[in-house]
Chains A and B, each alone.
Chain A
Amino acid sequence: MAAPESGDGNNGAARMVTLISSDNTRFEVEAAAASLSQTLQLTILDGGGGGGDGIPLPNVDSATLSKVLEYCIKHAPAAANGGAPNATAVDRAELERFDNEFVNIDQSVLYSLIMAAHNLEIEGLQSLVAKKVADMIKGKSPMEIRRTLGFPDPTPEEQAEMNAHMLEYGWAYE
């Protein structure tokens, strides 16, 4: 799962940093990949996360962090190049394929991911997951959305409330 060595200014050997999840699992990852997180980037630029220290991430559990880092490692080379000039159509298509497959996961993992992406300020991941969830909602009736998202079926009382509310929201329908 190692990313190609991108210029890190460190004589070829890519600089590594250690991230520590909320449940105390340590992840060693290239600084370039971790730097996709705006939050981590500052710490890493200051020389943090190296050696035995590690950067604690009290809001991210190991399952989520491992998924986040999978995204970062895949996207780090393109981010380092700024998308150009050696990003070919093939590279872009490969990233798109990766992204589509990457979000093809359980809803609960998606939600943990979007929280982590927000906390770590990883813009690409944040919009990738937001788009995925939006696509799950798009073009569906409120009942269909409830089923998709795993809402329990409404009680008769809730159903009556929904009907009344739907009248109030008539303007939102073309």
Chain B
Amino acid sequence: MEPSGGDLAAKRSNIAASADAGEDRLSGLPDYILVLILLRLPTSAAAQTSLLSRRWRHVWALLPELRFPFFPEPLSFRDALDAHKVPLRYLLVEDEDASAGSLGAWLPAAARRVSGLFAIVNADHRRSAREEEEIGAQRGAFEIPCFQKATSIRLHDIGSYQYLMGNMAVFPDLTFLYLGIFANGHAFGASSFHILKMCTGLRRLVLGFCDPTELELKSAEFNCNHTVPQDDSLLLPLFFKNQTASEPTILVGQENLDHYEVNTGKKRAKMALMKQRNSAIDLGENR
């Protein structure tokens, strides 16, 4: 591999000279290359490059994936989402103890922007059920807006919030839904049922039951149609604590939920699957 002509050395030194002159050449690269580079940074660092110059102001807004290890300041986050220039294939926000009001401020903007996976992780599941109820009452309620284009939604540990479904909120393209919920929480009954009614294309549902008094790791999982190949990238590890001893009943009002698995550890979970026939199926002990 030797060049059979040309002035390689001269060329090299030319390039080196222009870099030494303190000339910013990175800004000269096309947007798609800069996006490749910014994707390798934490999202907040990528967003901060918008401070560099006018050239950089909107590069970060071309990022197709955003990950926040904290709840950003709600109103400006909402504006930033609205100003984002491309659909988001991934939006993850992870923190603890956000108020329902602050979530409600930017969720509608997220709903407009996400066309892939949307996840909120509210990592405060170490409290007792009573504490959760009190906190839930203080937090107030927020409305889950209509995610028209999202294909996956994961809501972890939002069971201590009261949440309402937006009017006419349907999730037509949602194929995977994860709900982390408290056994005694508001989410466990009517709201879950309501969400499932709205997810008309759902193929895979995972419910994580969480009772802070019990520290065993358990989960229940419904594969809505096991003949359809599952997207492996969505098979995320599940670490959830299970329901209380009172054997809660989950009502699943989904016609296309025709296959499901339940992993409940030692305790028994009673599942009722409301299908067209209106028959209830008691799974009993399962693995």
Residues of A in contact (CB 8 Å), total: 53
Chain A interface main SS type: helix
Q: A97 an interface residue at 8 Å Cβ cutoff?
A: no
Residues of B in contact (CB 8 Å), total: 48
Task: Give the residue of B5, B36, B43 whose beta carbon is less than 8 angstroms from that of A25.
Answer: B5
Q: Which residue of A lies closest to B6 (CB)?
A: A25
Q: B residues within 8 A CB of A115?
A: 29, 33
Task: Give the residue of B8, B11, B27, B51 whose beta carbon is less than 8 angstroms from that of A165.
Answer: B51
Q: Is the CB of A149 within 8 A of B24?
A: yes
Q: B49 an interface residue at 8 Å Cβ cutoff?
A: yes
Q: Is the CB of B80 within 8 A of A171?
A: yes
Q: Is the CB of A21 within 8 A of B6?
A: yes
B-facing residues in A123-174 (Cβ within 8 Å) = 126-127, 130-131, 133-134, 137-139, 142, 145-146, 149-152, 158, 162, 165-166, 168-174
Given contacts A118-B33, A170-B76, contact A130 B40 (CB under 8 A): yes
Q: Is the CB of B41 within 8 A of A138?
A: yes
Q: Is the CB of B70 within 8 A of A165?
A: no
Q: B residues within 8 A CB of A70?
A: 1
A12-28 CB mask vs B (1 if < 8 Å, else 0) is 00000000010111111
24 contacts between A and B (CB under 8 A): A1-B1, A21-B6, A23-B6, A25-B3, A25-B6, A63-B8, A66-B1, A70-B1, A108-B15, A130-B37, A130-B39, A133-B26, A134-B37, A138-B41, A139-B45, A145-B52, A150-B23, A169-B76, A169-B80, A171-B72, A171-B77, A172-B44, A172-B47, A173-B48
